[in-house]
Structure 1
């Protein structure tokens, strides 16, 4: 690919959808601009796919699923191929992380560290494919009952801008290892690494039609994909309202659903935990990826006995974070994805002031020398935040966090659970019993004790409430890519005629 590797280049590539193993022209009307968020410059253009484009990709996926090259592939052969794809990903890691940094503005050190983990997702799910066993179920009477699992079919996957490849691969690895096929609609802001990965996998031997990519806006192309009558499973990572719309559409065709939606992660800091370490985790959890993560440490709940010291030290830590060109290894915080997102974050700074919170750090859009048109926001901290404030209740999705005092364990849990979201939570304490009590009492799908933002391909990932349904990663995700068929075999050769001896029968079912 000829996407420019440095900010300031004027080169613009034109892309189409990736269908049937190759990139093709798609869409009608004006193309969509893809911008470098560090400079605001257009680096690529993509189509806004039409219903015909979506249908073409779906037909390609169905043909691959039903065809011999993929649908007829032996489980062991498929596992070997998925491991080969992991190797191909690893061999192309340098170009992938540089391209992703260019496209979404995440600092290059962060992007490299995140993408280097992704080949393991494919290897893990390839291992599950080899280890999979169907069940023999003890039942009453002279019967052998066993299960057969068959891949569900086409997985429609709508991925977000914040972690384009990581969130794609959490789903894609399970799709491929299970024998399913997929049509992916990446964010219109960050389609470039998804397209590149599709090409890498095709060159590594993935049969045409197994991994298709359609481009365009979420409200049009994404909506048409989610409501397509031929999908068998919908995977979506995005906002809660987008999840409601897409989930309602997919429900009409009774598709399986896995959706990771919004979050408002509470971090409970107890006074027995080292404050300096808690502050370091606070900065990491709140500002990694410019805070554009659903599990961003957005609500710090701090015990009153250490509250003032924690706030002062978090202010000092925040003010040391280096903002700048994401391609520079010295940069610690890059831009948010767009001007619209920058303005959204700044609007919440205004809400914080209006509601009576105390601005501790940040709250403005800095001008970075040489990157004056980039979408930067200073890392922002508000203190003395109350539970009824907008910045406590609503997802900001930027480098923005709040600090609220609590009295005791019960008060911490009350504040933590005062939210419609339930994706993740974190606990800082040296009291082992308390850690487990609080982990049990907080309403969410993921809990980190004395850590943050950790995931593993074997560990289930997902939320409750307005944070979504279903789980990615782990055996939970793998199993949800199959339909289960129960087979009941009569092993008794005794004569049977219900209507000859109805009165003598002792059971119907």
Structure 2
């Protein structure tokens, strides 16, 4: 456990449990971190509750709390190079991608500081001599559970909103990628964040289950698999706590025949292979109109085959490893299943040959599976690897029906030069986010989340900021006369 005070020294009867953190590019251990217990989660929550109930953070003037967030943003920016290198070593994402993503982390702190500084309490309309207004208050202690694929950005998205609104937070990063989270907490501490406002617990399933089920946690924000989200929803429902869950996805990318298939394929390659396909909004099923289908498959396969695989720490690398051997084996099994069901492998499909120093890494060649149908496993199930599944369609109604034929509903993409069609299809597709002629673009102001089995609630935007608060409605009678309901000949309206 890492907090603003040192973790207690384990007794001889309960020796510290450690977990090895591995660099997926080499398979080598980077360092070890504590594998916390349920009892240590309880201790972290107690510290966060004490900071909320008696510490200064929730009671600071809003302008002061906003200034704290701005100082945190500046401190993160000043330490960005360390964070870039640490995250690339820990999750294997190419340094060019890591820089592009993590350089934006301070934006979330500045955005939520701005929302806080500009926050207005609503005055509500009503009849009679009454002034009715609302006040927002922080929820209390919030838990944030983050995944391995984008550990720091996803944390910043929720953490900045939770802090801006006056909550204290216990963070549980993925047991595979805790290093940038641990580094961030130290940066926030050095930037002046008060004692106990942010605490980190590290470990696996035991830690996550105790945090989601803890009676003093007012809200859980979780990014992970659908089953983990379902378990968190059940645990929080038992005590009527809130939950925001961004879960799995099987993002459809619809390519119409009015667009240059090479242009669409270049955009599709980014959607499919960025972060080695380990993203909930990865474009993993491409629905392509028959008029451009063959040309699209050819162009996407050529682009996939040309992607530079290698050491993610080197600037020229375009594709790094998967997070673990377990994940790579899962993806390889799904590719094999696709072949058994009749897909045609037009690029990749196996493990690349790499230098000896990378032989222990978990690499996989970017893969294109063509001629799939919607009934195939690879077209239905989330793969979470660098695999693009391509399915032909006939017309717009066919494309929309196929796009919606899935249990997930996180993201979707549409490639077309017909702007009316772009709007029309975006409106018909069931997904929390839709990109037209682009993919995976985000801003702090844009709500992020899905529908169906892709989750509930939203991260980022005003919606996330507001959901870290509860609303109190205050009704003030402004009339000069007294209220005497039973003594009045003509009582007022009873609501």
TM-score, length of structure 2 as denominator length: 0.97
Instruction: Report the Cα distance in structure 2 between the residues aligned to 1:295 and 1:307, rounded to whole angstroms.
Output: 22
Aligned positions, number: 491
Instruction: Indicate if the aligned counterparts of 2:485 and 2:492 stay in contact, CA closer than 8 A.
Output: no
Instruction: Report the Cα distance in structure 2 between the residues aligned to 1:19 and 1:246, rounded to whole angstroms.
Output: 24
Of 48, 53, 56, the residue aligned with 2:35 is 48
Instruction: Indicate if the aligned counterparts of 1:28 and 1:48 stay in contact, CA closer than 8 A.
Output: no
Instruction: Report the Cα distance in structure 1 between the residues aligned to 2:25 and 2:203, rounded to whole angstroms.
Output: 22
Matches for 1:342-381 after TM superposition, within 5 Å: 342-369=328-355, 370-381=357-368
Match status 1:97 vs 2:81: no
- 1:393 maps to 380
- 2:294 maps to 308
Match status 1:417 vs 2:401: no
Instruction: Report the Cα distance in structure 1 between the residues aligned to 2:301 and 2:72, rounded to whole angstroms.
Output: 44
Match status 1:434 vs 2:418: no
Match status 1:285 vs 2:304: no
Of 57, 63, 66, the residue aligned with 2:44 is 57
- 1:11 maps to none
- 1:489 maps to 476
- 1:452-480 deviation per Cα after TM superposition (whole angstroms, max 9, x unaligned): 01100011111000000001111111111
Instruction: Indicate if the aligned counterparts of 1:136 and 1:147 stay in contact, CA closer than 8 A.
Output: yes
Instruction: Indicate if the aligned counterparts of 1:105 and 1:337 stay in contact, CA closer than 8 A.
Output: yes
Q: Larger deviation: 67-76 or 290-299?
A: 67-76
- 1:462 maps to 449
Instruction: Indicate if the aligned counterparts of 2:262 and 2:295 stay in contact, CA closer than 8 A.
Output: no
Instruction: Indicate if the aligned counterparts of 1:21 and 1:199 stay in contact, CA closer than 8 A.
Output: no
Deviation at 1:20, TM superposition (A): 3.3
Instruction: Report the Cα distance in structure 2 between the residues aligned to 1:66 and 1:406, rounded to whole angstroms.
Output: 58
Match status 1:212 vs 2:199: yes
Matches for 1:243-262 after TM superposition, within 5 Å: 243-262=229-248
- 1:5-56 deviation per Cα after TM superposition (whole angstroms, max 9, x unaligned): xxxxxxxxxxxx1123446657856422110001111112122221220111
Instruction: Report the Cα distance in structure 2 between the residues aligned to 1:408 and 1:305, rounded to whole angstroms.
Output: 10
Match status 1:328 vs 2:309: no
Instruction: Report the Cα distance in structure 1 between the residues aligned to 2:54 and 2:69, rounded to whole angstroms.
Output: 18
Instruction: Report the Cα distance in structure 2 between the residues aligned to 1:101 and 1:198, rounded to whole angstroms.
Output: 18
- 2:227 maps to 241
Deviation at 1:68, TM superposition (A): 4.0
Deviation at 1:505, TM superposition (A): 2.4
Of 267, 274, 277, the residue aligned with 2:260 is 274
Deviation at 1:320, TM superposition (A): 0.4
Instruction: Report the Cα distance in structure 1 between the residues aligned to 2:55 and 2:248, rounded to whole angstroms.
Output: 40
Instruction: Report the Cα distance in structure 2 between the residues aligned to 1:429 and 1:495, rounded to whole angstroms.
Output: 66
* Residues 25 and 396 of structure 1, relative CA distance in 2, 3 Å threshold: farther
Instruction: Indicate if the aligned counterparts of 1:291 and 1:397 stay in contact, CA closer than 8 A.
Output: yes
Instruction: Report the Cα distance in structure 2 between the residues aligned to 1:177 and 1:495, rounded to whole angstroms.
Output: 41
Deviation at 1:74, TM superposition (A): 1.0
Deviation at 1:180, TM superposition (A): 1.0
Of 182, 200, 203, the residue aligned with 2:187 is 200
Give 5+ residue unaligned stretches, structure 2.
none
* Residues 323 and 306 of structure 1, relative CA distance in 2, 3 Å threshold: same
Q: What's the secondary structure of 1:215's corresponding residue? A: coil
Instruction: Indicate if the aligned counterparts of 1:28 and 1:47 stay in contact, CA closer than 8 A.
Output: no
Match status 1:443 vs 2:443: no
- 1:461-502 deviation per Cα after TM superposition (whole angstroms, max 9, x unaligned): 11000000001111111111111000011112323333345x
Deviation at 1:343, TM superposition (A): 0.5
Instruction: Report the Cα distance in structure 1 between the residues aligned to 2:296 and 2:15, rounded to whole angstroms.
Output: 54
Instruction: Report the Cα distance in structure 2 between the residues aligned to 1:485 and 1:129, rounded to whole angstroms.
Output: 17
Instruction: Indicate if the aligned counterparts of 1:458 and 1:475 stay in contact, CA closer than 8 A.
Output: yes
Q: What's the secondary structure of 1:102's corresponding residue? A: helix
TM-score, length of structure 1 as denominator length: 0.94
Instruction: Report the Cα distance in structure 1 between the residues aligned to 2:353 and 2:26, rounded to whole angstroms.
Output: 11
- 1:371-429 deviation per Cα after TM superposition (whole angstroms, max 9, x unaligned): 11111111111011111111011001011110000111101101100001000000000
- 1:94-140 deviation per Cα after TM superposition (whole angstroms, max 9, x unaligned): 00000000000000111011100111110011000000000111111
Q: Larger deviation: 225-234 or 351-360?
A: 351-360
Instruction: Report the Cα distance in structure 2 between the residues aligned to 1:155 and 1:464, rounded to whole angstroms.
Output: 23
Of 392, 397, 400, the residue aligned with 1:405 is 392
- 2:323 maps to 337
Instruction: Report the Cα distance in structure 1 between the residues aligned to 2:362 and 2:431, rounded to whole angstroms.
Output: 32
Q: Following TM superposition, where does structure 1 have runs of at least 4 consecutive aligned residues deviating by more than 6 angstroms?
A: none
Q: Larger deviation: 161-170 or 268-277?
A: 268-277
* Residues 309 and 477 of structure 1, relative CA distance in 2, 3 Å threshold: same
- 2:2 maps to 18
Q: What's the secondary structure of 1:19's corresponding residue? A: coil
C-alpha RMSD of the superposition: 1.3
Instruction: Report the Cα distance in structure 2 between the residues aligned to 1:358 and 1:23, rounded to whole angstroms.
Output: 54
- 1:3 maps to none
Give 5+ residue unaligned stretches, structure 1.
1-16
Q: What's the secondary structure of 2:258's corresponding residue? A: coil
